[in-house]
Chain A
Amino acid sequence: MADSLLKRYTYDVMANDFMAAGKSSSAIKSNLKSLGIDSDILRRIAIISYEAELNIVIHSFGGKLHCDIYENKIVIISEDAGPGIEDVDLAMKEGYSTASDSVRELGFGAGMGLPNIKKYSDHLEINSSSTGTKIVATINL
């Protein structure tokens, strides 16, 4: 069955924890690497996952990052506890950012997160409300 879920990895991502940011994506990358996934596809997945993880750290009250493995695709899902994206269309524009100066000093908040996720995904769904944002990014194998 091409559509059945083979395996799910789930990681908790803390808000504002910039030292740990990237740990979950690093684990996802090494897990997928051990499955023998092509390095170009692996890099795309890693970028998507890292940007999604950073979004949780920078913009949310905390959340989870999932990596779902199917026979013919990998799906990266981020779910956070809010406060939501006020204007998703604006957030998809390159250079648009609501990040604080302190986040920018860390090298992020350039307004490239969601555009990057879109660029490297084969399919992207974003649902956002004040109670949370869910991003589902699919990468075909």
Chain B
Amino acid sequence: MLIKEIVDIVKADVLTSFHDENTDLKYGFASDLMSDVLAYARSDALLITGLNNPQVIRTAEMLDISVVLFVRGKRPGKEIIELAKENKLTILASDYTMFKACGLLVLNGMEGLDIDG
């Protein structure tokens, strides 16, 4: 799914943009637990979270995740945005709940990740 399609589907604000809007993200991974993100997510996935702290950006950085979608109306503060810019992350923010955002993305063709082993 293209970044511009994600933005359209979840009515997201684009808070930082370091990737072409035609960048394709096949998978999504949603969690408020960064430990689980570190355990199961992959670099080719969109990270969807309602957690709003700098560790979200650090977690994305460690995994080479390029796009993060904040849900439930969370708007990351200046410090988080600065950290995202340092790491060239594209940050999106939607007012939808995590369930609604994920549901709409899946209905439009985004796939989930399987947990291996």
- Say whether A and B bind each other: yes
Q: Which residues of A contact B (CB under 8 A)?
A: 18-19, 21-22, 25-26, 29, 39, 43, 46-47, 49-51, 106-113, 115-116, 119
What is the chain B residue whose CB lies nearest that of A29?
A: B62
A-B contact count (CB 8 A): 69
Consensus secondary structure, chain A interface = helix
Chain B at the A interface: mostly helix, strand, loop or mixed?
helix
B residues in contact (CB < 8 Å) with A: 32-36, 38-39, 43, 49, 51, 53-56, 58-59, 61-64, 79
Provide 8 A-B residue pairs closer than 8 Å at the C-beta atoms, listed in order of the A residue: A21-B55, A46-B61, A49-B62, A50-B59, A108-B33, A109-B35, A116-B38, A116-B39
State the Cβ distance, B30 to closest chain A Cβ, in Å: 13
Contact A47 B63 (CB under 8 A): yes
Question: What is the bound-complex CA distance between A22 and B61, given in angstroms?
Answer: 9
Chain B: minimal CB distance from A106 (Å): 6
Name the distance in Å between B35's Cβ and chain A's nearest Cβ. Answer: 4
**Given that A112-B36, A116-B35 are known contacts, is A22 also in contact with B64, CB under 8 Å in the complex?**
no
Q: How far is the CB of A59 from chain B (nearest CB, A)?
A: 13
Quick one: given A25-B62, A47-B63, A50-B62, are A18 and B55 in contact (CB under 8 Å)? yes
